[in-house]
Amino acid sequence: MKPTDITKLKHLAQDKISRSANPAVVRNSTVFFKNMQELIKQEDLVKKGTKVSFYEYGRAGSQTTIALENFISELEGAYRTFLTSTGFGSIALAIMSICRPGDEIVVTDAVYAPTRMITSKLLKEFGVKTHFYNPENLKSLKSKINKKTKMLFIENPGSNTFEFQDLSEIIKIAKKNKIITAIDNTWGTPFLIKPLKLGFDMSISSGTKYLSGHSDVMLGTLAVNKKVYEKVKFYNKLLGYRASPDDAYLVLRGLRTLDIRLKRHEENTKRIISFLKQENKIKEILYPYKKGTENYSNWKKYYSGSTGLFSVLIYSKNKNSVFKFINSLKFFGIGQSWGGFESLVLYQSHIIQRVYKKYIKPNHHLVRFHIGLEDPKDLIEDLRKAIKKIR
C-alpha cells in the first residue's frame, strides 16, 4: 500500500538508525574516515550521484540535510533535491546552473523582485538576455522564444498580483522548443502541486515560508529531474551552496504539520475574503476565489488547495490613509516574508515595476496579506475597524 502525502509528512523523517521520531542535528565540517581507501570510495559514490547517508566533506551537508533532501525528493517526486541557505539561493542556483553567455531566458513578468533583478541585471553582465512575458497571455510567451532561448522561468502564481497560468500548455511550448523549465512553487508547496510530475525540470520552494511555518528559518529547496541533475550538481558544488543543519532540522519539524497548517490558512483566508469582498473600499481581491474566471480555472486545474497569501487593490487618492489602515491593524504584523503562523500585511505598490503594468495606475494601492492561524473572527474585526481609516 502506497502512503498518501499526509502520511508521508508524518513518517519520512524518522531516524531508523537511532530509532528516533526525529533525525539528529549533525553539524560538521570535517568528516572522519578509517583510511584513505574509504574516503576515496565515498568521494566516488558522491561523484557518481549515488544516494549516500553521509558526504565526504561538510560543505556538501550532513546527515540532517540529507534527511531533508530525501524528504523533499519524495514529496516532489524528484530525482534529487538540493538545499540552499535561502529560497532565493535556490532560484539563483537554478538559473545560474543553466544559463551561459549567448543564451536567452524567458521569465514570468509578475516574478519575485529579486528574481527580476538577477535575470534582468546580473545575467545581462554575463551576456545572457532576458525577456519578460505577460502571464495572462501565452501568445506573449511564444513571441519571446527563439533559437537562443535556453530556459523558461515561471513563478506561479505571480508574485504580489497572483496570476495563475495554464502550466500544461507552458510545458508543451517548452518541450516543443527544447527549453529547460523551472518554477518557483513557494505559494503552492509540493503538497498542493507537484510541478515535476507536470513536466517541469526544476521545482523551487522557499523553506523559509510554509515548509517551515514558524518564521524562524532561512532555507531553500531545488528539486530536479534526472535531465538537469548533473548541471545543477556541478554548479552547486563549485559555488559551495549549503543549508544549515539546524535550519534543515527546523524545516523537517515544520513539515510534519504542513497539511494541517495549510488547511487552516486556506479556511481562514476564505473567511477573510468573504468579508473583504463586501467592502466597497476594496476594489479588487487577487486570489482564486471567483468561479468562472481563468484564474480560478487554472488554479482548480492544478492545485489541490490554496494558501494564505493574496493581495487587494485599494482605490484611494490619499496614500497616507492607506498607510493608516495598515498601521492601525493590531493582529497583522508589518514585515517581509510570509508562510508563518502569524498574519502579515505589506504595502507593495512601490515595488511593482514590471513591463506588464496592469496594476500600476493612479490612486491604486496594492496591499499584500498573509492570513495566519489566528481566530478569523479576531482578524475580521481588526480589518473592519482599520478599513474605516481609508479615505
Q: pLDDT (tens digit, 9 = 90+) per residue, 286-310?
A: 999 999 999 999 999 999 999 999 9
Termini Cα distance of the chain: 59
pLDDT computed for residue 376 by the predictor: 98
Alpha carbon dihedral 333, 334, 337, 339, in 10-degree steps, equals 20
pLDDT band of residue 381 (cuts 50, 70, 90) is very high
Query: Does the pLDDT at position 206 exceed 90?
Result: yes
pLDDT computed for residue 296 by the predictor: 96
Mean pLDDT of the chain: 94
Query: Does the pLDDT at position 354 exceed 70?
Result: no
pLDDT band of residue 351 (cuts 50, 70, 90) is low
DSSP assignment string, 271-294: HHHHHHTT-TTEEEEESTT-TTSH
Give the domains, in start order, of the chain with CATH numbers: 5-27+62-255 (3.40.640.10), 258-387 (3.90.1150.10)
Within the chain, residue ranges assigned H as helices are 5-11, 36-48, 63-76, 87-98, 113-117, 123-125, 138-144, 167-176, 189-192, 195-198, 226-239, 245-255, 258-276, 294-302, 319-327, 376-387
Those residues with Cβ within 8 angstroms of residue 331's Cβ, 6 or more apart along the chain or in another chain: 343, 374, 378, 379, 382
Query: Does the pLDDT at position 331 exceed 80?
Result: yes
CB atoms within 10 A of CB 231: 14
In this predicted model, what pLDDT tens digit does every residue of 97-110 receive, in sequence order? Answer: 999 999 999 999 99
Query: Does the pLDDT at position 16 exceed 90?
Result: no
In this predicted model, what pLDDT tens digit does every residue of 318-330 receive, in sequence order? Answer: 999 999 999 999 9
Dist CA 33 CA 3 (whole Å): 37
